[in-house]
C-alpha cells in the first residue's frame, strides 16, 4: 500500500497563493480613489454586460478584479448581508468595516481550506463619510487580508506600475475631472501606456472604461452614481 504524498503546510499555502495571484494578474486593473467630493471608482472594462464596480448600500461601493463569477458571488453576498443588517437594525448600522470583515472571514476560510480552490479575486470596499475625513477604502486580498488605504487603492496585475503613475500627482482635494484624468492615465500604463483603440499614449477611451462615484454632494440617501459614457467623455476632455 503506497503512502499518501505529504506536502508541507508552508508549501501548500505558497502554491495556493501563487495560483490566486496568477488568476488576479490576468484581470484588467481597477482603481479606487478619494477626491474632493467623495470616492471615485474606475475600471478598465470593455464589457457592457459585466460590471466590476457596484453599489452595495447607501454610502458603500464595491470594486473587484479577477474571476468574474467569484467576485459577483461576493458582491451579491455583500448586498444581502447589508440589506439584512439595515432591515434588522438601522441603516446607519451598515458600515464598510463590517462588510470588509465579513469578506475577510469568507476569503480567509476558503484560502485555508485545502479541499477548496482559493478565490482568484481582489476586492475594494469604499465607504463615504459625512465629511472627507470619514471616507474609508478597504482593500481585500485573496487570502482574506485587509488593508485600510488612506488615499487610493489599485488592484490587478499592473497594480504597482499604476500606483507609481498616480501617486506623485494625487491629492485629496482634486476635483472629479482631475481625479478621473489622473486615474485613467494610471490605468493606461497597464496597456503599455497606449490606448488599444486609438494608439495614443496615456489614453483610454470612455467606451473602454467603467466608472462610478460615491458623491457627497448628492441630495439622495443613496450616494452611488454611475458615470455614463458621455459624462466620462466630458470629464476626460475637461481642462485640468
Distance from C-alpha of 170 to C-alpha of 137, rounded to nearest angstrom: 15
Q: Is residue 146 part of a domain?
A: yes
pLDDT digits (tens, 9 = 90+) for 64-95: 999 999 999 999 999 999 999 999 999 999 99
Closest among 94, 126, 123 to 216, alpha carbons compared = 126
Q: Is residue 20 part of a domain?
A: no
Instruction: Check pLDDT > 50 for residue 195.
Output: no
Within a domain: 51: yes
Which of 139, 145, 142, 140 shows the shortest CA–CA distance to 117? 142
Within-domain flag for 17:
no
Least confident piece of the model among 50-59, 182-191, 220-229? 182-191
| pLDDT band at residue 198 using 50, 70 and 90 as cut-offs | very low
Reported as a single tens digit per residue, the pLDDT across 97-155 is 999 999 999 999 999 987 789 999 999 999 999 999 999 999 999 999 999 999 999 99
End-to-end CA distance of the chain, in Å? 72
pLDDT band at residue 234, thresholds of 50, 70 and 90? very high
Q: Tell me, yes or no, whether 2 lies in a domain.
A: no
Residue 130 in domain = yes
Number of domains in the chain: 1
96: left (phi over 0), alpha (psi -120 to 50) or beta: alpha
pLDDT digits (tens, 9 = 90+) for 25-59: 998 999 999 999 999 999 999 888 899 999 999 99
Tell me if 118 is assigned to some domain.
yes
Residue 213: CATH number of its domain: 3.60.20.10
Does some domain include residue 95? Answer: yes
Amino acid at each position: 500500500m503506497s503512502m499518501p504524498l505529504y506536502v508541507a503546510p508552508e508549501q501548500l499555502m505558497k502554491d495556493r497563493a501563487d495560483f490566486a495571484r496568477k488568476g488576479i494578474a490576468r484581470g484588467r486593473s481597477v482603481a479606487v480613489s478619494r477626491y474632493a467630493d467623495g470616492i471615485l471608482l474606475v475600471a478598465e472594462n470593455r464589457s457592457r454586460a459585466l460590471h466590476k464596480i457596484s453599489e452595495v448600500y447607501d454610502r458603500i461601493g464595491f470594486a473587484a478584479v479577477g474571476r468574474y463569477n467569484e467576485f459577483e458571488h461576493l458582491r451579491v453576498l455583500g448586498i444581502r448581508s447589508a440589506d439584512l443588517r439595515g432591515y434588522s437594525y438601522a441603516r446607519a448600522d451598515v458600515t464598510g468595516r463590517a462588510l470588509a470583515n465579513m469578506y475577510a472571514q469568507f476569503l480567509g476560510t476558503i484560502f485555508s481550506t485545502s479541499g477548496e480552490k482559493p478565490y482568484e479575486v481582489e476586492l475594494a470596499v469604499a465607504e463615504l463619510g459625512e465629511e472627507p475625513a470619514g471616507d474609508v477604502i478597504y482593500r481585500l486580498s485573496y487570502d482574506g487580508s485587509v488593508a485600510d488605504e488612506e488615499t487610493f487603492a489599485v488592484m490587478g496585475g499592473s497594480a504597482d506600475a499604476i500606483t507609481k503613475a498616480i501617486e506623485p500627482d494625487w491629492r485629496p482635494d482634486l476635483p472629479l475631472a482631475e481625479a478621473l484624468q489622473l486615474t485613467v492615465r494610471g490605468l493606461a500604463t497597464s496597456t503599455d501606456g497606449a490606448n488599444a483603440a486609438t494608439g495614443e499614449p496615456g489614453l483610454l477611451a470612455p467606451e473602454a472604461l467603467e466608472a462610478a462615484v460615491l458623491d457627497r454632494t448628492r441630495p439622495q440617501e443613496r450616494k452611488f452614481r454611475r458615470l455614463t459614457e458621455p459624462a466620462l467623455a466630458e470629464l476626460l476632455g475637461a481642462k485640468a
